[in-house]
Structure 1
């Protein structure tokens, strides 16, 4: 009996222990259920919603760049592409291998994708292939179950209707680099582009716009079921430039065979009507990717197609600088306009001899005739009287030797030397013979074609300090600087400026002028004024001078002189100013002046500064129209 009672007592305790354990387990389960369903219900609801809902940013269309009449010079077109979201596949390598069996994928593409996947967060899509055709896109859609993480999309690519003619001014776009990632999530979107050069870079923020977003319902494998909501972004703003597309294309075609640059300005307000540099490049290649072979071809070309010579090419101005020397001499009162100076073909200073370009000399000349015939000996003499510091100060007033305020990145200031500059940079004193050399625009002086065009504009607009600019409006809001009255005077007496303008008119329109052969055609109904310039690229030895120089075209290309011309039109009521440089062209009157004549004639035919509409039909940009831009 006692043994039976003991067994019952043990069984009862065991039942109590088991019951207590069950109660504890049930209590723990209840507590956990309460934690999950009550305390953390919102959190798990959000997680479930996130698994069902995918929120994606929508890149905005990049703003267009247009010419002054609204013709697009940079626009967008539709671009089918395939993208990979790493978090939606268990094996990226396997997905890419399957993708390559359906649509060709190069090793370079695969390496790029893997590199971008390491750089970006796993939920950010990475472009695997873009510029797909319809058949390739259809194959991807049919094989979608075998391509986890792959999705097709419609993006936009950048197009440049004017091609190489606008490349140096418009610039180009490219994918963001590491340095561009400033925390803006839009820069991590597939297919997004940022401005890398030219106006694309200068106005990148305005052109970029603001991203939108779309909420999508997806299934367990990430396949899109339906679109739930969409918030459109803000498209990039259109930027209206001062360029005339037709004139830009004409100027580019005119110098296409040369290593050259040309600039046309509205002399009254500094608007750039045309700015071309040759040779050029296709800016659209940077959007799709420049091959190593193409990059090597560009960078090894001695004519430097990637450099905008109009703003970054540095050249001695030669005789185009003589007007500045003349104005400095007049202001210093070391010469009067009517004073005649004799040119015997050579000027002696100590044991040095400084030659005029004309063997035997020009004889007696006053200032107007010296500019018209480009007499070197006349300017040796007045430069010696004036001094280099006064000449430099006058040059600075005309924008030479100063950083131009143009919007384009990479513009260079050039150099206008002074006594202090030489002492500081070379540790030696300035020599008087150097003043003579600089009096004809050679020596240490360096200028850009844009600066020479600005100099000419200030010479002929009444001495107003216009500054060059390429932007007319951003998002429809006018940019400053459109009126001639906005620019201050630089303090040159009108009588002096009138003398210079009259002399420059004589250069082109009177017999004996160095550009007489490059007069405007009679049907234009206007005259052009200007000044030729020729600069040596190497020192001419005495032996060469004594036996007579060979013709420039008979010399090796790299030994030939640079050819320059600056001009304005109409000569009686100046509106346009221009500058042309032909590298190794041989001579300003033979090579640069005819180019400037043709460009100025086309400018007057079109007269873009006075027109409110283009003189011919706008460029047909079918791709841009398809994109809705």
Structure 2
């Protein structure tokens, strides 16, 4: 059919519009293509020319600065120091053995470190740098830098290494860092790329490990241009990472260092807490070790010396060690009986020196007995029979319930390694764990902190703080993170939910322990009225005393081998009228409470006076010895400070 003129005109118009659209699209495409070609050929010409000449651009991670750690007064206790090292990238080096041979003519290479580096290169990605020499001098660094053209893939670097300026004083609290191991990586589902860098260091134990997420920071990146032989030509751009958070602890460095010196080479532990807030002012284990050895790579000889020492310097006894609390547990039994209504302040029991239970005789420490005892005199003189009687009346379930309320048998959540929960047994616990029924003798043993009962020095300090304040204080180790306070104000700490009158009775008895002439700690009292302490001695047996030995005479602790002697314990709070601090001390195999009590008194006074107390705080008979002790410890402290400055 022949089209009309109108139809022909309409068809031509449509064709014209389509032509214009197609032409415009083609022009637009050509324009974009032209712009892209200009960008590649003009703007990026230099970069692609370098690539064409067998150069390339690498992206490398920048390790962030690890967060630093300070004491409560701002004294640095874990720092970062510059460290010079030499790294090599396997794929840039080509013939690694030949490059290392050249490098060894410039600097001395440690055979063990070199073997370790070669192993790491074989199992890590070829583009990752591996350290072949660490902690080198500036002169060695300069020699390598000058000869860089002859050392493909080799780069002298300035990094940061961890430094613990107070050495052993904080080793068990802070712990130490070390290179990431295969074991570390196996515990992480999606590891941070930083952890894949050979020899990158992370927290291994202590606070360093428990707060790794805060301290590590976030990696940065840099783009570097390297030539065909792997030499870095220039840095193209850099994106800095995020440094780790700085942590401030509740611990006082001066007090911590004093206690470490006071404990000396004893196998011992001590904890000092603020009674009203739970802040830990000092937490020590002895003997200790230098954590800097682990950062730098501890030798076999040094490590063997630590592991073979029978005083276990690597163990964090303050939180990891659990011990029979001995007579320090008697406050728990006393409070449980008061709360149950089975006794009051006037209730007495007769102590003939033993208690017959079924076919077994349970002895008092005083062979001839104490006679009639009430609550105060029984705690004051630590009569065992009185507490045997209380425990039989109250029962183990109520005793354990009170122990838990006072912080025993509870795993406290402070960021230290291997924090133990201790043990406050029940009938159900024994049936489940020992597959035997609870017997009455188990209750009698528990009443004096023996048998199945176990507690750590930290838990005993918490118990003392709660008895002193009547508050359910929780131990706190981190005071602030990047300046943001993490502690709980004293007014926000909940009450202990124990009758205040009952607490007052127990506190009065503890005061008598240290201030009454018949008290078991009277010889180690504080005589300045405004600083008098209230405490409780404890001796925990580590061996069974047979009936035959009792008939012949119990062997004295000093006549036994060290490992068979009794542990010595002491817990206290001070000042009695306005409690500020709580202290717990244990001396392993010290031969009894007399080993722990003088240490606890010295620590208490040092904390109260924020330094050496006046000699007038001590009984006159002790002042000459204390003066000599203070001078000796002062000289030791100054010597350690000098060593610390040299280490820094």
**TM category, shorter:** 0.7 to 0.9
CA distance 1:183–1:434, change in 2 (3 Å): closer
Classify the secondary structure of the residue corresponding to 1:442: coil
- Which residues of structure 1 form unaligned runs of 5+? 1-33, 609-615
Aligned pairs (5 A) from 1:221-620? 221-462=229-470, 464-481=471-488, 483-520=489-526, 522=528, 525-588=530-593, 590-606=594-610
Deviation at 1:566, TM superposition (A): 0.5
Match of 2:214 among 190, 206, 209: 206
Question: After superposition, what is the alpha-carbon deviation per residue over 1:321-358, rounded to whole angstroms, capped at 9, x for unaligned?
Answer: 00000011111222222112111111112221111111
Contact map agreement 1:342 1:378 (CA 8 A) in 2: yes
Cα distance between partner residues in 1 of 2:157 and 2:227? 18
Deviation at 1:489, TM superposition (A): 2.4
Corresponding position of 2:203? 195
Cα distance between partner residues in 2 of 1:488 and 1:365? 34
Deviation at 1:223, TM superposition (A): 2.6
Residues matched between the structures, number: 580
Question: After superposition, what is the alpha-carbon deviation per residue over 1:340-398, rounded to whole angstroms, capped at 9, x for unaligned?
Answer: 21111111122211111112111111101111110001111111111111111111111
Deviation at 1:261, TM superposition (A): 0.3
Deviation at 1:502, TM superposition (A): 0.9
Tell me which moved more, 592-601 or 217-226.
Answer: 217-226
Contact map agreement 1:407 1:469 (CA 8 A) in 2: no
Deviation at 1:622, TM superposition (A): 6.3
Contact map agreement 2:530 2:575 (CA 8 A) in 1: no
Contact map agreement 1:518 1:597 (CA 8 A) in 2: yes
1:120 aligns with 2:120: no
- Give the superposed CA RMSD: 2.6
Classify the secondary structure of the residue corresponding to 2:78: strand
Deviation at 1:562, TM superposition (A): 0.3
Contact map agreement 2:180 2:199 (CA 8 A) in 1: no
1:109 aligns with 2:113: yes
Cα distance between partner residues in 2 of 1:172 and 1:148? 34
Cα distance between partner residues in 2 of 1:344 and 1:155? 71
Deviation at 1:427, TM superposition (A): 2.2
Contact map agreement 1:96 1:110 (CA 8 A) in 2: no
Deviation at 1:88, TM superposition (A): 1.2
Deviation at 1:295, TM superposition (A): 2.3
Match of 2:74 among 58, 64, 70: 70
CA distance 1:101–1:624, change in 2 (3 Å): closer
Cα distance between partner residues in 2 of 1:152 and 1:498? 67
Match of 1:138 among 135, 138, 142: 142
Classify the secondary structure of the residue corresponding to 2:463: helix
Cα distance between partner residues in 1 of 2:396 and 2:533? 30
Deviation at 1:47, TM superposition (A): 8.4
Question: After superposition, what is the alpha-carbon deviation per residue over 1:215-271, rounded to whole angstroms, capped at 9, x for unaligned?
Answer: 334444333334443332222111000000000001111112200000000111111
Corresponding position of 1:4? none
CA distance 1:183–1:491, change in 2 (3 Å): closer
1:90 aligns with 2:94: yes
CA distance 1:46–1:243, change in 2 (3 Å): farther
Deviation at 1:183, TM superposition (A): 4.0
- Which residues of structure 2 form unaligned runs of 5+? 1-33, 613-636
Cα distance between partner residues in 2 of 1:60 and 1:420? 51
Classify the secondary structure of the residue corresponding to 2:319: helix
Cα distance between partner residues in 1 of 2:366 and 2:601? 24
Cα distance between partner residues in 2 of 1:61 and 1:169? 21
Question: After superposition, what is the alpha-carbon deviation per residue over 1:142-163, rounded to whole angstroms, capped at 9, x for unaligned?
Answer: 4333322111011111111111
Classify the secondary structure of the residue corresponding to 1:311: coil
Cα distance between partner residues in 2 of 1:166 and 1:373? 36
Classify the secondary structure of the residue corresponding to 1:276: strand
If the length of structure 2 is used for normalisation, what is the TM-score? 0.85
Cα distance between partner residues in 2 of 1:428 and 1:224? 72
Cα distance between partner residues in 1 of 2:184 and 2:588? 36
Deviation at 1:545, TM superposition (A): 1.4
CA distance 1:229–1:623, change in 2 (3 Å): farther
Cα distance between partner residues in 1 of 2:99 and 2:527? 67
Cα distance between partner residues in 1 of 2:641 and 2:223? 38
1:169 aligns with 2:169: no
CA distance 1:350–1:186, change in 2 (3 Å): closer
Corresponding position of 2:628? none
Cα distance between partner residues in 1 of 2:49 and 2:466? 67
